[in-house]
Structure 1
Amino acid sequence: MDATTAKKPADCSYGSCASVAVIEALEQYSGIDPHDSEFRLYDVIAPDALDTLFSCQQTTGLSIEFDIDDVTVSISQANDDIQVRVIDPLK
Structure 2
Amino acid sequence: MAATTANKPADCLYGSCASVALIEALEQYNGIDPHDSEFRLYGVIDPDALDTLFSGQQATGLSIEFDIDDVTVSISQAHDDIQVRVIDPLA
For this structure pair, what is the TM-score category when the shorter chain's length is used for normalisation? over 0.9
Stretches of structure 2 that go unaligned for 5 or more consecutive residues are none
Root-mean-square deviation (CA, aligned residues, Å) is 0.8
Given the two structures, how large is their TM-score scaled by the length of structure 2? Answer: 0.96
2:71: which partner in 1? Answer: 71
User: In the TM superposition, what is the alpha-carbon distance from 1:39 to its structure 2 partner?
Assistant: 2.2
Which protein is richer in helix relative to its size? 1
- Look up the match of 1:36: 36
Q: TM-score, normalised by structure 1?
A: 0.96
1:4 corresponds in structure 2 to: 4
Q: Secondary structure at the match of 1:52?
A: helix
Q: Distance in 1 between matches of 2:81 and 2:72?
A: 20
Aligned in 2, Cα 1:60/1:10: closer, same or farther, shift over 3 Å?
Answer: same
1:59 Cα deviation after fit: 1.2
Work out the CA distance in 2 between the residues paired with 1:63 and 1:5: 14
Count residues with an aligned counterpart: 91
CA distance in 1, matches of 2:87, 2:17: 20
Quick check: 41-50 or 29-38, which moved more?
Answer: 29-38
Q: Which ranges in structure 1 are unaligned for 5 or more consecutive residues?
A: none
- Residue identity in the other structure for 2:59: T
